Chains A and B, each alone.
Chain A
Amino acid sequence: MSEFLIRARALSVTRNGRQILRKADLDIAPGKIVTLIGPNGAGKTTLVRAVLGLIQVSEGSLEKAPGLRIGYMPQKLHIDASLPLTVGRFLALGGPPRVNLSEILQLTGIDKLVDMPIQSLSGGETQRVLLARALLRDPQLLVLDEPVQGVDVAGQSALYALINEIRNQRQCGVLLVSHDLHLVMATTDTVICLNQHVCCHGHPEQVTNDPAYLALFGDAVGALVAPQVAIYTHHHDHQHDAHGNVITLKGAHDHTAGNCGDSSGHDHHA
């Protein structure tokens, strides 16, 4: 097994003459969780699609470990109601499973859903089914696009705990896109904040007793389950204007947590 699963250097993607992604670096190692955050249109999806091989990279290099097997969990699933498809059939569409099916069903807690029509599942159940389909490929890298979107808070914690358990059990790398700018999975190893370029990256802070966390979610979640969410504090030394160009802030070089700042030599005109 190689040292890295994904190694991207100065990745740029241009579409219709507009640069969506600018000189982004990304490293994913086996057994590590990388969370991508950033505002809408920041290029999170573009970076993920490049990693998945769904789009062409305009510039830069994107290396993948030889024979890398990716398990992909898409953000949404729209299946026309006219297609009679049970959860079991949906799972089988990914090809013959590389791991024990019933084990995965148990792990993701969907063993009772196998004979249900896939269109009848709730948001959280659908996410678990999608995760199960990704796991059936015995992936070395799990790519999860906003896995907790549309899932209630308790469900989010459970799903994050499950993802962490999978990582610990299988030692696969995880690339996770977060729908939230500040709340990320607590066991994340690296957070990458993207706004066309990599704005900053670092470790999230644990929030067991963080007042901001408790103010947001109250004691209900914290009391029942160990918190699976952490707050990521951004430390940028720049801002973006309306066009996404970088504005450097004078005297704002506050590097308290992680390695923040501009490693990508982008244009500093505003």
Chain B
Amino acid sequence: MITLRATVAIPPDTITMPDFLLLALLAGIAVALVAGPLGSFAVWRRMAYFGDTLAHSALLGVTFGLLLDLNLNLAIALGCLLLALILVALQHNRFLATDTLLGILSHSTLALGLVCVSAFSESRIDLLAYLFGDILSVSRGDVISIWMISLAVLGALIWLWRPLLAITVHEELAQVEGVPVTRVRTALMLLMALVIAIAMKVVGVLLITALLIIPAAASRRLSRTPEQMAVIASLLGITAVLAGLGASYLWDSPAGPAIVLSATSLFGLTLLKKQQV
């Protein structure tokens, strides 16, 4: 150690980025990157409430993960995917309006998750970390899995881009033109479930929808095409992650909420600009 210090001289006043902050940045950027296009679809298709419902069910996934001794990330992803499929099935033969259905599921799963998590309160889970995110504690393994899922979802979105846009514009028209509407719509819900599972680490279940919706909404005034809106939403999301983590590092504010508030500030700034299209 002594020889190393002698050869690599680090000036004592240089600020180096702590490892945990670097990992947090990498994780946050990966989530913001995919949240841009996915959040745009959530805005265009008015799926904000749907995102909330999926996010709330993630807490239930945590519980099941602990009960069944599964990898927690995997359990969260599976929980979200399962709920997404249940929602698809329920929407097919609905007797209640979708928002009522989502309201029931959203709050029931959140309540059930809270009850179950409190049963484990013997120090095994940090409830606040799940509710508001714990981005400063992500591990290298977390970062790798978050990037893998983020890139996979991004790839799927690019591959499905035109059919996704087509069903967003008019589902029946798309179906007559040969788009497999049910499959594409289900794929979108599953992709959203996956992103919610990785975003949970960053901002927590209560704030996930904000990370999807706010950058996309802020991007609207800056874009003329759907693709521009998706890309700008990603860039704004990444900016929000940088600003939020910076604020968290400098002023010790909770990272997840700081990221969301940074995104909100960006949205506020775009309101000053005149609508283009």
Contact = CB atoms under 8 A, between A and B. Distances in A.
A94 interface: yes
Nearest to A92: B162
B176 A53 contact: yes
Nearest to B276: A84
Interface in A39-88: 49, 52-54, 70, 72, 74, 77, 79-80, 82-86
Contacts of A224: none
Nearest to B223: A84
B277 A117 contact: yes
A84 B277 contact: yes
Contacts of A70: 176
A95 interface: yes
Nearest to B44: A83
User: Interface majority SS on A: helix, strand, loop or mixed?
Assistant: loop
Contacts of B228: 84
A54 B43 contact: no
17 contacts: A49-B172, A53-B176, A54-B172, A70-B176, A79-B169, A79-B170, A80-B46, A82-B43, A83-B169, A84-B225, A85-B169, A86-B224, A89-B225, A90-B169, A93-B169, A93-B174, A133-B173
B217 A85 contact: no
B127 interface: no
A83 B170 contact: no
B264 interface: no
Interface of A: 49, 52-54, 70, 72, 74, 77, 79-80, 82-86, 89-90, 93-95, 117, 133, 137, 143
Category for how many chain B residues contact A: 20 to 34
B223 A93 contact: no
Contact of B173 (A74, A83, A85): A74
A77 B170 contact: yes
B165 A84 contact: no
Given A82-B44, A83-B168, A86-B277, 20 more contacts: A52-B172, A54-B172, A54-B175, A70-B176, A72-B177, A77-B169, A79-B169, A79-B170, A80-B44, A82-B43, A83-B44, A83-B226, A84-B220, A84-B223, A84-B229, A84-B277, A86-B225, A94-B173, A95-B177, A137-B177
